[in-house]
């Protein structure tokens, strides 16, 4: 979206920088400084240029620009809402599921989402794993032959240099039982220039397959530059999925979700998960109800291509894993093998089988 001010040359990291760029009001600065004391701030030029500062409901600003609402911390909100810590046997590893685990080599991101479920753990000054810590994490993976998939997350692993990324991918490829190396990232949409040919070469595995899971929440994030970055990955043979967070005031209506999922599919990225909002501190402003999310998924089912249908999931607080929150379409009948099936428009039909 066009802006009246000059282009923004660098990532905005303080409330004062946001104010100078015209993204927050001067009278909001004292409150936003309090927010920044607890939660990291960063808005890349690619995202700042998309924000319409005249629109108080701008969905890009809502995701990245801090507000005083983040100071409202509810009793049910937690430092570690999805329970990473109890499943972290070695620094940098979260092993919640038998055949896959998280490897978190870095806790920095190019942007800091205001709804982030790891917002207590990420930010400037959050260290990357040292050489010894990375060695220990990779040794853990090598020692656990049940681990088939390694998910690199953090933070955003694509903030690492291509040299460092390539080293990690090579070392994972040297572990015989690792079959998939998956990267979770926001970089192709929030900092697309970072996706260079050198980075793509670093991500490509050898024996193990590389997948990229893109985090994108709104169709306006899928700019021409983002499509170019995604194209570099997909054209290199790296398949891509997407995860989206259901966010009040950003994408909590069927029209926005439809347009977002269609934009992803047109960019050759398959929507995989629609996450229900986590109970992270200061994020109540973003959370919908489960009932609202289920109703949206039912609305999408009827008239939107199956390619655009993610699974609506909840990461159960306390580290118990993800479960689908899918609407119900099937009810048992009075007799064996008798069912009633509800179609996407609410019609009910008998079925035997």
Strand order from edge to edge, sheet including 330-332: 330-332, 338-342, 348-352
Residue 209 φ then ψ, to 5°: -85, 140
Residue 236 φ then ψ, to 5°: -85, 0
Whole-number pLDDT of residue 2:
45
The residues assigned a catalytic role are 96-97, 100, 109, 113, 116, 118, 278, 315, 322
For the chain, which ranges sit under pLDDT 50? Answer: 1-2
Whole-number pLDDT of residue 125:
63
CA distance 159 to 221: 18
Whole-number pLDDT of residue 13:
95
Whole-number pLDDT of residue 4:
56
Whole-number pLDDT of residue 1:
44
For CA atoms 12, 16, 20, 21, give the dihedral sign. Answer: positive
Whole-number pLDDT of residue 27:
96
Q: Does domain 85-324 have CATH number 3.20.20.70?
A: yes
Burial class (CB in 10 A: 0-12, 13-18, 19+), 146: exposed
What are the residue ranges of CATH 3.20.20.70 in the chain?
A: 85-324
For CA atoms 253, 259, 265, 268, give the dihedral sign. Answer: negative
Burial class (CB in 10 A: 0-12, 13-18, 19+), 125: exposed
Whole-number pLDDT of residue 335:
85
Peptide bond into 19 cis (omega under 30): no
């Amino acid at each position: 979206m066009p802006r009246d001010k000059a282009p923004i040359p660098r990532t905005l990291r303080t409330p004062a920088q946001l104010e100078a760029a015209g993204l927050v009001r001067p009278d909001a600065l004292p409150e936003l400084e309090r927010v920044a004391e607890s939660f990291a701030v960063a808005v890349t030029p690619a995202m700042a240029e998309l924000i319409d500062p005249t629109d108080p409901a701008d969905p890009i600003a809502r995701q990245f620009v801090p507000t005083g609402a983040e100071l409202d911390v509810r009793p049910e909100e937690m430092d570690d809402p999805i329970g990473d810590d109890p499943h972290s046997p070695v620094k940098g590893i979260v092993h919640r599921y038998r055949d896959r685990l998280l490897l978190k080599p870095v806790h920095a991101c190019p942007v800091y989402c205001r709804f982030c479920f790891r917002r207590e753990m990420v930010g400037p000054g959050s260290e990357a794993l040292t050489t010894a810590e990375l060695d220990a994490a990779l040794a853990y993976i090598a020692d656990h032959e049940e681990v088939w998939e390694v998910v690199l997350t953090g933070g955003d692993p694509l903030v690492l240099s291509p040299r460092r990324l390539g080293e990690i991918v090579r070392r994972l490829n040297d572990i015989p039982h690792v079959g998939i190396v998956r990267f979770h990232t926001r970089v192709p949409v929030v900092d697309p220039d970072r996706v260079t040919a050198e980075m793509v070469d670093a991500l490509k595995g050898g024996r193990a397959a590389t997948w990229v899971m893109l985090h994108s929440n709104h169709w306006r994030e899928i700019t021409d530059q983002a499509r170019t970055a995604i194209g570099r990955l997909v054209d290199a043979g790296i398949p891509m999925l997407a995860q989206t967070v259901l966010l009040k005031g950003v994408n909590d209506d069927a029209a926005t979700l439809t347009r977002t999922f269609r934009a992803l599919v047109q960019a050759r990225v398959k929507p995989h998960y629609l996450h229900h909002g986590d109970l992270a501190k200061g994020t109540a402003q973003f959370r919908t109800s489960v009932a609202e999310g289920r109703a949206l998924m039912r609305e999408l089912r009827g008239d939107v291509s199956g390619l655009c249908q993610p699974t609506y999931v909840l990461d159960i607080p306390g580290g118990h894993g993800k479960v689908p929150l899918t609407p119900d379409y099937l009810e048992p009948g009075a007799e064996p093998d008798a069912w009633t099936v509800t179609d996407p428009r609410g019609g009910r039909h008998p079925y035997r089988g």
